Amino acid sequence: QVQLVESGGGLVQAGDSLRLSCAASGRMFSTMGWFRQAPAKEREFVAAITWNGGSTYYADSVKGRFTISKDNANYTVYLQMNSLKPEDTAVYYCAARGSRAIVRVTTTAAYDYWGQGTQVTVSS
């Protein structure tokens, strides 16, 4: 069974840091991504990383603050979030793509599997 299990969400103050984890299992993936969705808003791209080469991609809104990384041995992807802002508040979802075909990794349509989400709340 394919599973993506997120963890690490919580309530923090503006300026604080938080690290999200996504443990993957069930099959090999080419790309892992993080998306977030605030109430009444569409799901938006945050960051992505490829398993093979470790190439990373970031939304402009998080560049310089967030870092996506991976642990090959544990097949886990992380999202280190620093200098958090209230506008970062959202449910954060881990996503995985199985195909190695070249696609836009910033779109939800590029991913086949999704985790259950973990809530991140940043107070001002």
For the stretch 71-85, pLDDT in tens is 999 999 999 999 999
Which residue, among 37, 39, 42, 19, has the nearest Cα to 92 in the 3D structure? 37
Coil, helix or strand for 108?
helix
- Report which residue type is found at 7: S
Is residue 3 predicted with pLDDT exceeding 90?
yes
For the stretch 22-70, pLDDT in tens is 999 999 999 999 999 999 999 999 999 999 999 999 999 999 999 999 9
pLDDT at 121: 98
Is residue 101 predicted with pLDDT exceeding 90?
no
Cβ-based neighbour number of residue 30 at 10 Å: 19
